[in-house]
A and B are shown apart, each in its own frame.
Chain A
Amino acid sequence: MRKGRSAFIKRVIIYLSALIILVWTILPLYWMIVTAFRPEKEIYEGLIFPRQFSISSIMAIFGLGEEHITVGSTLTSYMINSIYISLIVMAISTLLGMLGGYALARMRFPGKDILSSLSLFAYVFPTVVIMVPIFFIFSMWKLVNTPTGLILALLSHALPYTLWMLRGFFQTIPLDIEEAAFIDGCSRLKTIFKIVFPLSTPGIVATATYAFILAWNNVLFPLILISRTDLQVISIGILNYMKADFVPWDRLMAASFIATLPPTLLFFAIQKYIVAGLTAGAVKR
């Protein structure tokens, strides 16, 4: 009897705590989604639950549909720039990260250990420390207000990450496989491109995806390097909405919702690899 009762109380506590976690996490998200998908007028009524469904705010950020009460520029070009810049950062950081990461994982050359630690340092280091010199040096090199400048700056963050992560993934490929290929007469290069890289595909895809997310989510570099609206990315588009005298709440939330989708969905697809990456060494024991 006693035992059954304490087990029951334990159940109740577990479900209550789970409910608290859900409410805590969902409330701000709920408010974003409800605001993004209700007619603009309804926002000013202060109701918790929506009465009408509408995608007019989503349309409005792309310049479609009817006029809205508050003003705010369309974000189509911001979105396209974000996609374009993030894809290039992803491609370059993954390619260089694959080569460099393999060298750090498997090859023997002077300075290897220092470079390994350096890539972790560089990734973990907050970018705010190099904000000032990046702006200054890039002005000298005429890279301010150019996509190239933004891409290079973003690589300073994404590339150390891909190097460190891919090094970790390549280390998990059993050495025997490589040696076997070597003995079968495969050259080093052939072993790498025909065996190691294909075997590491999940790790490479996950790392590339996260590099895309890092570029997409960045605020600091577009903020300091880009002042031309036609080159600006989505994070700053959202900041511009927030800075307005009359914040266009409906479009701010619609834009936030749209801007969240690519990184969040991608993040969920690769989440287990990301977690394994950083703390792998410590979790194993």
Chain B
Amino acid sequence: MKLKIRDALEGLAFSTPAFLLLFFVLFFPFVYVIYISFFTKYFGYEAVFSGLRNYIEIAKDPLFYYSLYISTLYTSISVVLKLILGLAFAMLLSQEFRGRSVVRAIAVIPWGIPLFVVAALFFWFFDYNLGLANIILKALFGVKIFWLGPDYVIPSIIYVNVWKGIPFFMVNFLGALQTVPKSLYEAAEIDGANAWHRFRYITVPGIKYVMLIVCLLSTIWTFGEFDTIFFLTRGGPGYITHIIPIYIYFQAFSRFDIGMAAAVSVLTVPIFLALISVILWALRR
């Protein structure tokens, strides 16, 4: 009994500094954002309790629905593309061929590059007059497009997100593919299973938990990611790329409406909580 108490005290002594700090910089702000979402509060003014007013305001704001729609669209298309291309890259790079390790090393590079650099990179790459994308299009097809203009901006930001995100999928899939026993493929081949069947009934079940975790993590990070779109378009042109994180930012730092910004933040929490809970469940499997 004495030892148990000592154990508990030691454990608490070791973990207290970390969690005390997290209490102030994470837990307290988290509770505070819920609290302040029930107040009408502007920068420099007193907070006035207003119950559910902010939530009602949001429910009446067409821009909120548009932001939710565009966030969902952007996230789901990006994640699906990253899943497909990441798996394709991984399956190619698990084949044996000369120069494979070089291709593998280069294909991982986007993962290591900071998001703000990725944004700057594509800002220049997509430039109408001087960007490489249009120089190539001009040379090949004789056309130039406004990559970040109203017509093409959504495909363009998805392109940026997919370019940056593929290696995360690819590397995790490469690891997972190695754990699928080779003998299964050989046995299936003897039984006359074709390539699609081998993929469908051996590869996919073999890596399904990794696929689940990677997709969920990517969904959370894509949905919550602010950096690239803020740098590339600031939510524009107009409101076309006004994803939820941009909506929160402008409510707080352009309209100075803290209460509204807090309420939107709170509304996103259940989405993230649900996704993370599934990840925890999958990690325990």
Contacts and interface: CB of A to CB of B under 8 A. Distances in A.
B26 A112 contact: no
Contacts, number: 282
Given A124-B276, A134-B29, A238-B117, A46 B129 contact: yes
Interface in A56-108: 96-97, 99-100, 102-104, 107-108
Interface string B80-122: 0000000011001001010110010011111111111101111
Contacts of B188: none
18 contacts: A22-B106, A25-B106, A25-B109, A46-B129, A46-B130, A100-B15, A100-B18, A124-B272, A130-B33, A133-B36, A137-B28, A156-B22, A159-B22, A263-B114, A264-B112, A267-B112, A268-B112, A282-B210
Contacts of A28: 121-122, 125, 132, 163
B248 A239 contact: no
Nearest to A34: B132
Interface of A: 11, 14-15, 17-18, 21-22, 24-32, 35, 43-44, 46, 48, 96-97, 99-100, 102-104, 107-110, 112, 115, 117, 119-122, 124-137, 152-153, 155-156, 159-160, 163, 188, 213, 216-217, 219-220, 224, 235, 238-239, 241-242, 247, 249, 252-253, 255-256, 259-260, 263-264, 267-268, 271, 275-276, 278-279, 281-285
Nearest to B224: A126
B265 A285 contact: no
Contacts of B92: 14, 17-18, 21
Contact of B120 (A121, A130, A156, A256): A256
B152 interface: no
Interface string B207-246: 0011001100100110111110011000000000000110
B284 A128 contact: no
Given A119-B22, A284-B179, 9 more contacts: A99-B18, A126-B268, A133-B33, A135-B252, A136-B36, A156-B29, A256-B117, A275-B172, A281-B284
A107 B220 contact: no
